[in-house]
Amino acid sequence: MRRRHDLFTLDLFDIPRPPAATEGALNCAVEICHTLSEALKASPQTRYQVAARMSELVGHEISKYSLDSWTAESREGHRFPLEYAPAFEAALESYCLQELLARKRGCRVLKGEEALLAELGSIGQMKAELARQEKAIKDYLKEKR
């Protein structure tokens, strides 16, 4: 049987799982470099434009040279500062770093309407649980009479 792909429903069997809690399992320096690099390659903006927009967003200068250093695996002493992640993503209109970190911890990032749909699902589950509790209390009280 061929599975129908529903773009509006999360696949419950495709849930990311966090890596085993072993030494070095969460070392993601190389993945961060690749994620930054791939996001920059996919963008129609130049690195100069991204650096300029990030600079504007954080309130101090970030250079194209810094972007180059953060995306080069060979530049081990140049790690991407986490405090620049929101500016990087905003400059590229991306969620690439949030998605990487979420995957590393076995989570997902829900955006916009996806988040609202998930919240509706959560509300539905709460309603069902409250209905079960209400029924259990009513049944208990009925037995006591």
How does pLDDT run across 15-74, given as a tens digit for each residue?
Answer: 667 767 777 777 788 899 999 999 999 999 999 999 999 999 999 999 999 999 999 877
In this prediction the pTM is: 0.68
Helical spans, DSSP H, in 25-112: 29-42, 47-58, 64-71, 85-92, 96-104
**Do you know the residue count of the chain?**
145
pLDDT at 1 over 70: no
Rounded CA gap, 31 and 41, in Å? 15
Span 121-126, mean pLDDT?
90
Rounded CA gap, 82 and 85, in Å? 5
**% of the chain residues with pLDDT over 70:** 88
What does the pLDDT read at residue 144?
83
Rounded CA gap, 88 and 39, in Å? 10
pLDDT at 8 over 80: no
Least confident residue range of 16-20, 76-80, 130-134: 16-20
What does the pLDDT read at residue 48?
97
Angle of helix 64-71 relative to helix 47-58, nearest 10 degrees, comes to 110
Rounded CA gap, 145 and 142, in Å? 6
**% of the chain residues with pLDDT over 90:** 56
What does the pLDDT read at residue 85?
96
What does the pLDDT read at residue 10?
53
Torsion sign, CA atoms 63, 59, 100, 47 = negative
